[in-house]
Structure 1
Amino acid sequence: VLRDVFQVAVLRRRVPNLRRILSGFVAVLLGLTLFLIGLEQALFPIGETMARQLAAPEAAGAAATPAGATGVDWRDYMLVYAFAAAIGFATTIAEPPLIAVALKAEEASGGAIRSWGLRLAVAVGVAVGVSLGAFRIVTGTPLSWYIIAAYAVVIVQTFGSSRSIVPLAYDSGGVTTSTVTVPVVAALGLGLAANVPGRNPLIDGFGLIAFASVFPIMSVLGYSMATSWLNRVRRARRSGEEAT
């Protein structure tokens, strides 16, 4: 729309297909409005409700915590970690921006990068990240420890990965935290922090999005490094067989 306004106001040129553009703009506005209503009335309550039910003592298998007590055994929340991983994987696979980037990557690489392979690598990274983020909420450990360690690993992976895959890996970490993943994961974190004894939703409830952003970078770079290593092993075997 801004491009069309610039074209009319500055370049003094007629906008082609003006009716189609306006109808599409109206459809986008209506879609975003309905989407925001759906977030407020459906996705946020669902995430908070599921986190509250999973963090309940009877669901976690833990004894009721006395009033004022803050001791939490992280092993009592295994179901929470599994659920967080499942939510992270499912929402990422359905993320429209990731689908678009994966399709463009496959098209630009001539099929060398498979769309489904990239989406699965990113989804696995988000699943691990959200699960680890849920573990951090349960244990109450500082967020900075995890983020610093994760980015240190990313830096090492960046120097050891192919130059062609590094920009795609970093972009994958950005596009995965979008319209589907962010609302559900944020609601999960807030609901979990509100129901784990001794946790503050304002301090501990946020931060899952950071995990969901950095761990896909690690998983895509790791997938690329593993693929390169396997290809080298196969080439070495073939050259050895040809030599014999």
Structure 2
Amino acid sequence: MSAKFKEALISVLPITAIVLLLNFTVAPMTGGTVALFLMGAVLLIVGMALFSLGADIAMMPMGERIGSQLTKTRKLGLLIVVALIMGIAITIAEPDLQVLADQVPSVPNMTLIITVALGVGLFLVLALLRIIFQKKLAVILIVLYAAVFALAVFTSGDFLSVAFDSGGVTTGPITVPFILALGVGVAAVRGGRSAQEDSFGLVAICSVGPILVVLIMGMLFPASSDYAADLSVPEIGGFSDLLHAFGEGFPEYFRDVGIAISPIIAFFVIFQIVFLRLPKTQLLKMAVGMAYTYFGLVLFLTGVNVGFMPVGNYLGTQIGSVDYNWILIPLGMIMGFFVVMAEPAVHVLNKQVEEITVGAISKRSMLLSLSIGVAVSVGLAMVRVVTGLSIWYFLVPGYAVALGLSFFVPKIFTAIAFDSGGVASGPMTATFLLPFAMGACSAMGGNILTDAFGIVAMVAMTPLVTIQVMGLYYKLKTKNDAARLAGGLGQAAAEDEEEIIDL
């Protein structure tokens, strides 16, 4: 437990320090606003620690056991039906999707949520079938993204950024641990030489479904540039006001997280009764883990939504109003570098990568690659806010490079890279960086839907490049090490031969 709290503290402190530094320099805040933010940071630290512990104890084992049992039954129809239902149910309950739905003015919330959930469910089925039939991930991704960009040509510009953002927000802290573990379970039972590589890639494919369905919705619904969400900082006059602000958020997230986790628990109970029959001690351990996950996520989401979202919007508005608003670009890069460290699902992915690759890809190298990628992406997003450049100029070359690299790096790095894109664009991005960009865009008189939206998409894109570049370096380094080893062995053999001749 102490290790998890230490990890969470190290993750959250940098972004907290940056916000406090801005408070004392270019964007001064009232004492109440600072208190709101600091309370949110405390909830973030405690929530992330509990969530990470719960994911290790319960979420990951549950997903692996359900995935392995589905594969062992050898019933393809059962696998398809369960994967479809699980994908839809978990996505409907994903808190980040509700945030996105509130921000799309021309589509009814429930229409958007159900459509996106159906997209995730269908693509989760596709991802699991890819593992079973051992199809190449790179080829599937090229086909899917070709379809995405073909549809994007015919979709309203107001829907383009929102569509790509939806691919990031649907792979949040609830869906990612379970989907990752589900892939590990299915790949482990199927076995084979590529089982390690195939255990990744589910998040990558599931992220495409929401993009496609929202692009299609953009052809059916009228475009609108209106945005009416209230991101104002609540008035904090004293400690009672501070408690009231967070007290209003707790019941909402208790309900939302309970709804989100219940489908996973229900499916696991059914599998326990019908197939698994695990001992009571193991079930009790998982129950405690689910409690940690539940309360941790409630605290985390309350902290980021109540404490971080309004402060992020306020800071963006203040900095966007200054004459030297170009400072948004380097500042965005610094924020992006540290914000990704506070994403709960990032730590789940990094731990799983290190375990499955037996330390060949360490958590530290993964986190550094992700941080660099997100720093670049947020910097580019701020370029869009400042200049008003279309997201087309960034997404097309970015995905072209990412898909091109997939032909030159080890397959496992491609799978991990595309999974990382969805994982990095989680609650912290949606509730701090996006409001920050929206505040800056509003202060500069830009179009929020076309200029500020898309930051989640940018955060989801750049890790695809940076982690594959890491894979390319790993491949070249391994090749050079092997060449040096072979050369050393050859030289040693020659020296031995000379000694024999001399003798």
Report the CA distance between 1:120 and its aligned residue.
0.4
Q: Could you say which residue in structure 1 is the equivalent of 2:449? A: 202
Report the CA distance between 1:228 and its aligned residue.
2.6
CA distance in 2, matches of 1:194, 1:104: 40
Residue type of the partner of 2:417? A
Residues 115-134 of structure 1: pairs in structure 2 closer than 5 A: 115-134=363-382
2:280 matched to 1:16? yes
Label 1:156 to 1:20 Cα distance change in 2 as closer, same or farther (>3 A).
Answer: closer
2:322 matched to 1:57? yes
CA distance in 2, matches of 1:226, 1:160: 11
Give yes or no for contact 2:341–2:371 (8 Å, CA) kept in 1.
Answer: yes
Report the CA distance between 1:94 and its aligned residue.
2.5
Residue type of the partner of 1:43? F
Report the CA distance between 1:189 and its aligned residue.
1.6
Report the CA distance between 1:178 and its aligned residue.
1.5
Q: Could you say which residue in structure 2 is the equivalent of 1:64? A: none
Label 1:24 to 1:112 Cα distance change in 2 as closer, same or farther (>3 A).
Answer: closer
Give yes or no for contact 1:7–1:14 (8 Å, CA) kept in 2.
Answer: no
Report the CA distance between 1:100 and its aligned residue.
1.7
CA distance in 1, matches of 2:481, 2:279: 55
Between stretches 30-39 and 128-137, larger displacement belongs to 30-39
Superposed CA RMSD in Å reads 2.9
Give yes or no for contact 1:8–1:15 (8 Å, CA) kept in 2.
Answer: no
Report the CA distance between 1:238 and its aligned residue.
6.6
Q: Which runs of 5+ in 2 are unaligned?
A: 1-264, 495-503
Cα deviation 1:141-193 (Å, max 9, x = unaligned): 11122111111111111111112211111111111111333311211221121
CA distance in 1, matches of 2:312, 2:484: 50
Counterpart pick for 2:431 among 171, 183, 199: 183
Give yes or no for contact 2:309–2:432 (8 Å, CA) kept in 1.
Answer: yes
Q: Could you say which residue in structure 2 is the equivalent of 1:224? A: 471
Give yes or no for contact 1:4–1:15 (8 Å, CA) kept in 2.
Answer: no
CA distance in 2, matches of 1:175, 1:95: 8
Report the CA distance between 1:205 and its aligned residue.
1.6
CA distance in 2, matches of 1:25, 1:222: 36
Higher helix share: 2
Q: Could you say which residue in structure 2 is the equivalent of 1:38? A: 303
CA distance in 2, matches of 1:14, 1:169: 34
Label 1:191 to 1:95 Cα distance change in 2 as closer, same or farther (>3 A).
Answer: same
Report the CA distance between 1:239 and its aligned residue.
6.2
SS of 1:57's equivalent?
A: coil
Give the structure-2-normalised TM-score: 0.41
Residue type of the partner of 1:126? V
Q: Could you say which residue in structure 2 is the equivalent of 1:69? A: none
Q: Which runs of 5+ in 1 are unaligned?
A: 61-75
CA distance in 2, matches of 1:195, 1:161: 43
CA distance in 2, matches of 1:187, 1:30: 25
Label 1:238 to 1:32 Cα distance change in 2 as closer, same or farther (>3 A).
Answer: closer
Give the structure-1-normalised TM-score: 0.80
Give yes or no for contact 1:7–1:15 (8 Å, CA) kept in 2.
Answer: no
Report the CA distance between 1:40 and its aligned residue.
3.1
SS of 1:159's equivalent?
A: coil
Between stretches 222-231 and 108-117, larger displacement belongs to 222-231
Cα deviation 1:198-227 (Å, max 9, x = unaligned): x01122221000000010010000122133
Percent identical among aligned pairs is 25
Q: Could you say which residue in structure 1 is the equivalent of 2:266? A: 2
The number of equivalent residue pairs is 226
